[in-house]
Amino acid sequence: MHLFILAAAALLGLSAAQHNPHTKHGRTAMVHLFEWRWADIAAECERFLAPSGYAGVQISPPHENIVINSPWRPWWERYQPTSYNLCSRSGNEHELRDMISRCNNVGVNIYVDAVVNHMCGASGGEGSHSVCGSWFSANRKEFPTIPFTHWDFNDHKCRTGSGNIENYGDADQVRDCRLVGLLDLAMEKDYVRGKVADYLNKLIDMGVAGFRVDACKHMWPGDLSAVYGRMHNLNTTWFSGGSRPFVFQEVIDLGGEPITSREYFHLGRVTEFKYGAKLGTIFRKWNGEKLSYTKSWGEGWGFMPEGNALVFVDNHDNQRGHGAGGASIVTFWDPKLHKMAVAYMLAHPYGVARVMSSFRWDRHFVNGKDQNDWMGPPSHGNGVTKPVPINSDQTCGDGWVCEHRWRQIKNMAVFRNVVNGQPHANWWDNQSNQVAFGRGNRGFIVFNNDDWNLDVTLNTGMPGGAYCDVISGQKDGGGCTGKLIQVGGDGRAHFKISNRDEDTFVAIHAESKL
Ligand code: AAO
């Protein structure tokens, strides 16, 4: 009996550890630097992310991938591995290693986007058209650099006519058939598990803190469990002994399919896609949704248990119509709404939060579908990804959007750190789209998403004093470049937000006190 309890506790302890992002210095939020070069990420960790209090970076897949020239170098070619060599449009192995070390040295964790469900598309042809020239044959299912041969793929198990997933209502085909024609690895094989684990372990040993695991819905939880079980502990140069890699699994579960997020909870965190889809609907005021309904935001909205969730407003798929979430998703293309939605997420205690950092592309809608949803990152004529230039006002140039640098978002990442561990408190709403809430006595935020002014006195729960609103400005030396908020000795403060303000929300926290 005692033995059983011990064994159960050990098991729980092990898997619970894969839910921990191992962030440092009280930092909390990660940013997805989508398609950035390793050299730029290294510089960004040192010059911006660490000083601004960001906890980590999700990087684009570092493995070698197929080169697709039609359409011209789509971003999604990186989701088609041709070898596990660490060589991609973002840089080579040396540059990757340098980035991981430099980010770790300033306390910013690196989380790798791991694409291990499949290799390239079945129509990928044969030759050396990989980013760094590794030969492969999609026709014969041969990837000699690893090596994988046709024995290592699932096609014999798949029972659909096309060999592709045809019906998400059938869990077997979702796991055993090809996702959009991508060659599906047979992860029940010990050999395949070993090769995948070797790839992850190489990255762990280099110092990464964990993984976003791509397309988990398409892998059996038991197979993933076996692979995760082979993962090394994190590198003790930067992490305490016995630390398990942080795992967050991409499972799109909006309800209505047999495969649910729940099947993956014991293995690590899971992406909560309902979060951004609902938040977008609320801020857009679609379907009669109101911000005041978010009083019970989180589990009260039918989201997964708090300790399992990885949350985001938009991701690299649904900001351009891929994946799931639809038109409600709020992206940088709607900056005013995007800033509010991201601020709401960062102010709210639910889940581990991820901020999206995007590149621009030429959107071109025909019948509601963006014809240019494939467009890759800003790049030179020869296909080389452009560096991220930093303008004198701290924004980015050359098509890099850098949402994470926008003052309102950057300051809310700090807000999240300052209020970390404090309970959701002092809720107020006008039964429409004006709401406010605090985090213990450490921070308070007020939103006006109605078409009229907000003018109200609220209990903030904060100690009395003068605070600088970190949305319209920020503390600057002894002063404040934004609105000043006076909190009385009773914790009450007066807020005025015109619906025509550039940003229709206000946030104060313990460290924005003057
Ligand atoms: C490219 C080409 C394809 C070509 C293929 C192979 O575009 O035409 O056949 O190469 O040659 C990315 C791109 C793909 C690209 C792929 C490989 O998005 O366009 O294919 O790289 O280069 C499913 C998966 C999910 C996946 C998502 C895109 O479950 O894992 O599709 N996301 C990840 C990555 C993504 C990447 C891959 C996986 C592949 O983030 O960047 O693809 O590595 C339903 C299901 C979802 C399903 C969606 C979309 O969603 O539930 O599981 O996601 O459909 O198929 C409502 C429902 C919602 C539903 C949604 C859409 O909202 O509530 O559940 O409608 O129907």
Report the sign of the C-alpha dihedral through residues 333, 336, 341, 343, in that order: positive
- Helix H, strand E, coil C: the string for 156-217 is CCCCCCCCECCCCCCHHHHHHCEHHHEEEECCCCHHHHHHHHHHHHHHHHHCCCEEEECCHH
Q: How far is the CA of 340 from the centre of ligand 1 (A)?
A: 27
What is the mean predicted confidence (pLDDT) over 201-205? 98
Q: Is 60 exceeded by the pLDDT of residue 272?
A: yes
Q: Is 90 exceeded by the pLDDT of residue 71?
A: no
Cα–Cα distance between 422 and 5 in angstroms, integer?
32
Cα–Cα distance between 134 and 141 in angstroms, integer?
14
Q: How far is the CA of 165 from the centre of ligand 1 (A)?
A: 11
- The residues annotated as belonging to the active site are 214, 250
Q: How far is the CA of 171 from the centre of ligand 1 (A)?
A: 16
pLDDT tens, residue by residue, 325-373: 889 999 999 999 999 999 999 999 999 999 999 999 999 999 999 999 9
Is residue 498 very low, low, confident or very high in pLDDT (cuts 50, 70, 90)? very high
Check if 511 has its Cβ closer than 6 Å to any atom of ligand 1.
no
Q: Which of 7-16, 149-158, 201-210, 308-317 has the lowest mean pLDDT?
A: 7-16
Is residue 6 very low, low, confident or very high in pLDDT (cuts 50, 70, 90)? very low
* Six-digit token string for 449: 């998403």
Check if 257 has its Cβ closer than 6 Å to any atom of ligand 1.
yes
Residue 10 pLDDT? 43
Ligand 1 atom 6 nearest Cα: 121
Ligand 1 atom 11 nearest Cα: 121
pLDDT tens, residue by residue, 130-180: 999 999 999 999 999 999 999 999 999 999 999 999 999 999 999 999 999
Q: Is 70 exceeded by the pLDDT of residue 9?
A: no
Residue-averaged pLDDT of the chain: 96
Contacts of 145 (CB under 8 A, 6+ apart): 64, 82, 83, 84, 85, 134, 135, 136
pLDDT tens, residue by residue, 408-428: 999 999 999 999 999 999 999
Residue 15 pLDDT? 52
Check if 327 has its Cβ closer than 6 Å to any atom of ligand 1.
no
Pairing of strands 81-83, 64-65: antiparallel
- Taking alpha carbons only, the member of 274, 374, 287, 398 closest to residue 329 is 274
Cα–Cα distance between 130 and 125 in angstroms, integer?
11
Is residue 1 very low, low, confident or very high in pLDDT (cuts 50, 70, 90)? very low
- Taking alpha carbons only, the member of 86, 75, 100 closest to residue 375 is 75
Q: How far is the CA of 321 from the centre of ligand 1 (A)?
A: 10
Residue 326 pLDDT? 85
pLDDT tens, residue by residue, 426-481: 999 999 999 999 999 999 999 999 999 999 999 999 999 999 999 999 999 889 99
Cα–Cα distance between 215 and 212 in angstroms, integer?
10
What is the mean predicted confidence (pLDDT) over 112-122? 98
Is residue 259 very low, low, confident or very high in pLDDT (cuts 50, 70, 90)? very high
Residue 164 pLDDT? 98
Residue 8 pLDDT? 46
Q: Is 90 exceeded by the pLDDT of residue 66?
A: yes
Ligand 1 atom 3 nearest Cα: 180
Is residue 70 very low, low, confident or very high in pLDDT (cuts 50, 70, 90)? confident
Is residue 16 very low, low, confident or very high in pLDDT (cuts 50, 70, 90)? low
Ligand 1 atom, smallest distance to 182 CA: 6
The pTM is what?
A: 0.97
Ligand 1 atom 24 nearest Cα: 215
Q: Is 90 exceeded by the pLDDT of residue 507?
A: yes
Check if 312 has its Cβ closer than 6 Å to any atom of ligand 1.
no
In the chain, what percentage of residues exceed pLDDT 70?
A: 97
Is residue 181 very low, low, confident or very high in pLDDT (cuts 50, 70, 90)? very high
Residue 5 pLDDT? 42
What is the mean predicted confidence (pLDDT) over 227-248? 98
What phi and psi, each to the nearest 5 degrees, are found at residue 191?
-60, -45
Q: Is 80 exceeded by the pLDDT of residue 400?
A: yes
Q: How far is the CA of 427 from the centre of ligand 1 (A)?
A: 38
